[in-house]
Amino acid sequence: MATRTQVCIIGAGPAGLLLSHMLHLQGIESIVVEQQTRAAIEGTIKAGVLEHPTVELLGQLGVGARLRREGFAHRGIGLAFGGRRHRIDLHGLTGGKSITVYPQHELIKDLIAAVLANGTAIEFGAGAVSLHDIDGIHPSVRYTRDGTGREIRCEFVGGCDGFHGPSRQAIPAALRQEYLKVYPCAWFGILCHAPPSSEELVYAHSERGFGLVSTRTPAVQRMYFQCAPGDQVDDWPDERIWAELRARMANDEGWTLKEGPIFKKDIIAMRSFVCETMQHGRLFLAGDSAHIVPPTGAKGLNLAAGDVALLARALGRYYRHNSRTDLDRYSAIAIKRVWRSEHFSWFMTSMLHEFAGEDAMTRRFRRAQLDYLVSSRAAATSLAENYVGLPFVGVE
């Protein structure tokens, strides 16, 4: 027997949960289908730099209380190169805007609690998820749960299931317009028990490559450094990690890292991906199912929020006014913000990383860009505006 709803959302990440909650606030029913268990989703530790528009949106939706209370508001970021640290005054350059550091898994906990409190069902642990009849007027989503086959019949499908999910693959390959850039490096990330090394994020460039100092809590810190894409976690014992981070962050100002026991290590691939075909029939993609950014620009979660804000608005107008105008324009409008954020992420990555095989002139170009950025108010303002987040396109 099939279950019926207005919108079936595939994926209980930030995009899917936000979409469900925003639809509920407009009186639109949804069911969320998620492959992982609730414990797995809430326990997966991920970075979380929230742009100003994202924080404002979460506050308007009534799910921002804990992040306001426990998140770290950063009014600037540091750029370290050439033995010195330089501060980009995000707050002063953008008319009072800032970013908030709040781990993604904590935001997911908040969103799951809100969605369940709405009375919306989240089908955790769903296997063999597949989409059907997305070209028709009554699409459906089929899956298994607890060994039983299930089906949800709906009017629209929100594909919020990430890069490897089935939603994008449900669009015929011949109709998908996709772009992919793979970077010749990866990020090695650690979590450690230590006090903060800096009150604000520090992005570092050196001849050895990129490094980043971030924070999670007053007692837990997150740090990254550029590594080879073929590296394995076991290639990096703790002693080697700290030696490399110290070398990347070396400076002439006496500033040193606060070190402590490392309790988590991971390696993050670096790629840029865009599927410009963000809709097909009654399927609409949002978040990582449609685009991936390298983490240097801290845009992934925020791009998802921008997509969802636009899609929820379009669905709301459809159900209120029986008009598909905004839905039909969803891809065209959303992709503008996607490409802006993709370019910014590429810019930050290219400026701060060293890539194998580069010539000496390219490295000089990179240093010239860094010098210009910290000496020109116009250049710093451009970076600050993009970093704190441009307004969500097409959202009033």
Q: Which residues are catalytic?
A: 74, 203, 295, 299, 387
Q: What own/partner pairs with CB < 8 Å and gap ≥ 24 does 374-378 have?
A: 374/79, 374/86, 374/88, 377/93
Cβ atoms of 393 and 337 closer than 8 Å: yes
Cβ atoms of 380 and 373 closer than 8 Å: yes
Q: Which of 6, 385, 10 is nearest to 164 (CA)?
A: 10
Cβ atoms of 105 and 216 closer than 8 Å: no
Q: What is the 3-state secondary structure (H, E, C) of the chain?
A: CCEECCEEEECCCHHHHHHHHHHHHCCCCEEEECCCCHHHHHHCCCCCEECHHHHHHHHHCCCCHHHHHHCEEECCEEEEECCEEEEECHHHHCCCCCEEECCHHHHHHHHHHHHHHCCCEEECCCEEEEEECCCCCCCEEEEEECCEEEEEECCEEEECCCCCCHHHHCCCHHHCCEEEEEEEEEEEEEEEECCCCCCCCEEEEECCEEEEEEECCCCEEEEEEEECCCCCHHHCCHHHHHHHHHHHCCCCCCCCCCCCCEEEEEEEEEEEEEECCCEECCEEECHHHCEECCHHHCCHHHHHHHHHHHHHHHHHHHHHHCCCHHHHCHHHHHHHHHHHHHHHHHHHHHHHCCCCCCCHHHHHHHHHHHHHHCCCHHHHHHHHHHHHCCCCCCCC
Cβ atoms of 193 and 219 closer than 8 Å: yes
